């Protein structure tokens, strides 16, 4: 949804003055505008080269189906809704379930299951798991990368038997031993939490599961546009201006004032917040970029289906030792069938499929057939490439990111978020909290 009210092209040379400019209209950008408004900034510009709000929260409508780019689940106690409570009635309440396809060809509990991954391995398997774990804790305590991290907590044998090692390679797009420990601890902290003796005993003995304290939610069936347009409308009523489909070509700094060249306009502001990819921000500020910072490009495949799926969860992860796809989400579980057919999205790391939609589709079809899934009429409805889906930390990326952020900060630009901070943020909750934390560190401006 393009902001038509603010999309008129003005004559070259026109200068517009703002209190603050936010680069990017994703979750981090929208929250940043809300926080800046709370801090007393009344004339804010949010600018994005894409024509929609929401950043990587993207949907794709094909005929009667609406697919997401990824698997996005929200909660009704998210701090995002503290800024935009008007969004809550638009969400669809859901009861999602998660499963995984194991190397043994079974659908089991995700991410690790005492019953499926340990008890069903048999007596000898349980002995091997125990000795492997003990060996890792005693002799492999030096943790240098993502594979070491997982191996230390669950042991080599369990790492392979559960399929977690294969999934890690599928998720990262590279071998797990090449992924920095920083990233593993950020993305895979659940391994340590679930592998403690206390956690294992809790799962083994009968206990009543705690009732959830929040509701799980999905975006409206119509897509993300209607959802984030509500947030943008609230901000617009507070004085925020949106320029979507507008590319910033250059940012200059004159004294304490920033000058933007954007679509034939000159814009000025005293404060700049960036949530766009970090190298893009460096480039338009005239600073050296770091091309060694790696992000994953995803292929999203969109299918409709009629027949027996072979599983009953709404989100299924691929932990088997083959197949390029890493996760599928059954959107029809959330929104109901369309014209009598289920529909779902599949995520594939583009590099693993040779950056080919045809290879990604062919591999998925053959893999699920071998594992007796989707027995029926499986139809590809569409597909999409998604660059900069999420960052991957390799070759001590954390240190290089810190240097890049320092260069931007010295220039005067505050950069953070999944893209702006090269920071893996799995949920809107985390993105909101991250934006709040960064912006509230800086003293608020004095009221005139």
Helices (H), 382-427: 397-411, 417-420
pLDDT tens digits along 274-304: 999 999 999 999 999 998 888 889 999 999 9
Q: Furthest-apart CA pair in the chain: how many Å?
A: 78
Indicate if the pLDDT at residue 439 is higher than 80: yes
Residue with tokens 């920071």: 423
On whether the pTM is more than 0.95, the answer is no
Nearest to 12 by CA among 286, 244, 262, 247: 262
What is the share, in percent, of the chain residues with pLDDT greater than 70? 91
Phi, psi of 138 (to 5 degrees): -90, -45
DSSP E strands, 30-176: 44-48, 59-62, 65-68, 74-75, 92-94, 98-101, 107-109
Beta strands 44-48; 241-244: pairing state: parallel
Domain assignments of the chain as residue spans, ordered by start: 4-57+223-291+395-439, 112-204
Homologous superfamily (CATH) of 4-57+223-291+395-439 is: FAD/NAD(P)-binding domain (3.50.50.60)
pLDDT at 108: 94
pLDDT tens digits along 120-160: 889 999 999 999 999 998 988 889 999 999 999 899 999 99
N- to C-terminal Cα distance for the chain? 36
Comparison of pLDDT for 397 and 240, the residue scoring more: 240
Indicate if the pLDDT at residue 21 is higher than 50: yes
pLDDT tens digits along 192-238: 766 655 555 555 555 555 555 789 999 999 999 999 999 999 999 99
Nearest to 320 by CA among 102, 112, 58, 148: 102
What is the share, in percent, of the chain residues with pLDDT greater than 90? 70
Mean pLDDT, residues 64-77: 91
- Do the Cβ atoms of 171 and 137 come closer than 8 Å? no
pLDDT winner (highest mean) among 10-14, 122-126, 198-202, 328-332:
328-332
Print the SS3 string covering 115-134: HHHHHHHHHHHHHHHHHHHH
Dig out the tokens for 182 from the structure.
């920083």
Mean pLDDT, residues 103-109: 94
Chain-centroid distance of CA 272 in Å reads 24
Beta strands 107-109; 315-318: pairing state: unpaired
Beta-bridged to residue 217, according to DSSP, are 74, 93
Query: 213: cis peptide before it, omega within 30°?
Result: no
Indicate if the pLDDT at residue 8 is higher than 50: no
* pLDDT range class, residue 174, cuts 50, 70, 90: confident
Residue with tokens 């797990």: 176
Nearest to 415 by CA among 291, 289, 245, 298: 289
């Amino acid at each position: 949804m393009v902001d038509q009210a603010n999309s008129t092209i003005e004559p070259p040379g026109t200068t517009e003055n703002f209190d603050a400019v936010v680069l990017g209209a994703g979750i981090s950008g929208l929250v940043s505008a809300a926080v800046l408004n709370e801090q007393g900034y009344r004339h804010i510009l949010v600018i994005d080269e894409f024509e929609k709000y929401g950043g990587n929260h993207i949907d794709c409508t094909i005929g009667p189906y609406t697919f997401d780019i990824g698997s996005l689940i929200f909660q009704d106690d998210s701090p995002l809704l503290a800024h935009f409570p008007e969004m809550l009635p638009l969400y669809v309440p859901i009861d999602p379930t998660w499963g995984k396809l194991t190397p043994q060809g079974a659908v089991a509990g995700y991410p690790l299951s005492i019953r499926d991954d340990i008890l069903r391995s048999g007596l000898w398997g349980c002995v091997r798991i125990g000795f492997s774990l003990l060996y890792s804790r005693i002799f492999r305590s030096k943790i240098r990368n993502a594979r070491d991290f997982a191996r230390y907590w669950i042991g080599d044998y369990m790492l392979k038997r559960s399929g977690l090692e294969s999934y890690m390679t599928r998720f990262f797009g590279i071998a797990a031993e090449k992924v920095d420990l920083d990233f593993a601890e950020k993305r895979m902290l659940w391994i340590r939490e679930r592998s403690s003796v206390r956690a294992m005993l809790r799962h083994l003995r009968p206990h009543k599961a705690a009732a959830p304290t929040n509701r799980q939610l999905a975006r409206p069936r119509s897509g993300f546009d209607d959802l984030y347009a509500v947030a943008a409308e609230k901000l617009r009523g507070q004085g925020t201006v949106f320029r979507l489909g507008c590319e910033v070509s250059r940012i200059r700094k004159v004294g304490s004032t920033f000058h933007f060249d954007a679509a034939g306009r000159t814009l000025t502001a005293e404060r700049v917040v960036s949530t766009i990819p970090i190298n893009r921000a460096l480039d338009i500020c005239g600073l050296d970029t770091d091309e060694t910072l790696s992000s994953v490009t995803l292929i999203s495949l969109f299918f409709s289906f009629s027949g027996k799926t072979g599983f009953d969860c709404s989100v299924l992860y691929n932990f088997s030792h083959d197949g390029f796809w890493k996760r599928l989400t059954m959107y029809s579980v959330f929104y109901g069938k369309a014209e009598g057919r289920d529909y779902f999205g599949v995520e594939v790391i583009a590099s693993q499929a040779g950056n080919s939609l045809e290879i990604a589709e062919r591999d998925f079809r053959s893999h699920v057939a071998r594992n007796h899934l989707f027995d029926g009429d499986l139809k590809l409805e569409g597909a999409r490439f998604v660059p900069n889906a999420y960052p991957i930390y390799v070759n001590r990326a954390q240190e290089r990111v810190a240097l890049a952020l320092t260069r931007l900060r010295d220039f005067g630009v505050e950069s953070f978020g999944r893209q702006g901070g090269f920071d893996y943020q799995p949920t809107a909750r985390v993105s909101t909290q991250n934006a709040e934390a960064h912006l509230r560190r800086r003293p608020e401006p004095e009221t005139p």
